Amino acid sequence: MPLSVPAFLSGWLTTELAPQLLAATAADAAQRVARRGIRTPGDAAGLALAGLSVAGLAAVIAESRSARHEAETALTEALGADYRSVAGHDGPVAPVRIPWRQFATPFRMRRDDVVRVRDLAYAPGGRRFRLDVYHRRDTPANAPILLQIHGGGWVFGSKNDQGIPLMMEMASRGWVCVAINYPLSPKAVWPAHLIAVKRAVAWLRDNAANYGGDPSFVAVTGGSAGGHLAAMLALTADDPDLQPGFEDADTSIQACVPHYGVYDFTGETGIKATRLRVESGLMPMVLGKAARFPQDYEAASPLCHLRADAPPFFVVHGTSDSFIPVAEAREFVRRLREVSENPVAYAELRGAQHAFDIFPSLRSSAVVQAAADFLDWTRARQQADRMDSEVVEEVEETENVG
């Protein structure tokens, strides 16, 4: 745990900005050689080190490019080889391409065809109960909805900083995307975070139509603590104990895409890094100093809320995550698959760090495309199921009349 922060900081930007770093290293080396040549042993050593750096960054880039295959394999195994045609996408999977302008300015994330409506209140309580709506400029009608929940260890974070690449992609595809703030610890104690998220879902079902949204389809995504809240939201639909004052609201979720989420709050998986987190000072900060172990910890743990009617899941986690061990995601997926009646896709990304998807990169762009395809598939399946149900009802009505 003490080394997780420096390990993250040293690996995150290097892996996701590897193309930019390679270009800068090569340009710097070429400039130095052109300016003064190789006159001294020091010049030769510097050039050799630059060459090693370029080789290392090239290996990182190759590893990042494997994310498309890893994600595609995960979807094919869980949804079937024909999932793209079901989702309405004809032809083979296209290679991931990022415009050169995006490479040059990776932190500038905008699309001309996407509009952002800021700071709408979904519940009383100030700025922590506000959301932003992203929708295509032409505002398509009956658009499926994607809810984005930010991470930050339940103690910091903002709707302005996370999930933007995926929301931009989905909004461009005609979805309505919503990023929310929620109350943070230590001021807020569990389950205040989840109750706020559920209030946002209730607000969406009442108001999203104003922005073209279809209240019958709400998917959820989020990373880290946001991944935890996304999973809990999907696994606790309509639980009255978590909806005080709005018990009758529909808080069901039709699809869940958690990224590098927290799934074990009790340490029951036996994973060392997970147990250290459970025993750290973070848990009393989130759950409250009066929290009882294991009862109150189990109440916040997705592993303790697995259910047969869970919506389709697409779980994404990196093998090099410094904060949340990849083994935790594996165990969550294994147990959820044992009980869920719906598909559970799992993409394990070789070399990916925590928060790999904050800005567009080779890896994050591949995962965005895969997540978008998964969400389109769940929407298409819902529509097909609805049509089948309507046909059955018509047949039954005809037989009753006869």
Catalytically active residues are 224, 321, 354
The residue to which tokens 């916040």 are assigned: 300
Cβ neighbours of residue 105 under 8 Å, at least 6 residues apart?
A: none
What gap in Å lies between CA 114 and CA 138, rounded to an integer?
9
Q: Are 253 and 311 in contact (CB under 8 A)?
A: yes
Q: Which amino acid is at 101?
A: R
How is residue 234 annotated by DSSP? Answer: H
Longest distance between any two alpha carbons in the chain, whole Å: 98
What gap in Å lies between CA 398 and CA 386, rounded to an integer?
18
Q: Which helix (H) or strand (E) holds 178?
A: strand 176-180
How is residue 241 annotated by DSSP? Answer: G
Distances from the Cα of 198 to the Cα of 115, 181, 217, 236, 253, angstroms:
24, 12, 15, 10, 10
Cβ neighbours of residue 272 under 8 Å, at least 6 residues apart?
A: none
The separation between the first and the last C-alpha atoms of the chain, rounded to the nearest angstrom, is: 70
How is residue 337 annotated by DSSP? Answer: H
What gap in Å lies between CA 251 and CA 239, rounded to an integer?
8
Q: Are 263 and 329 in contact (CB under 8 A)?
A: yes
Per DSSP, which regions of 206-343 are E strands? 213-223, 255-259, 313-318
Q: Which residues of 80-106 are buried (b: 16+ CB within 10 A; e: fewer)?
A: eeebbeebebeeebeebeeeeebeeeb
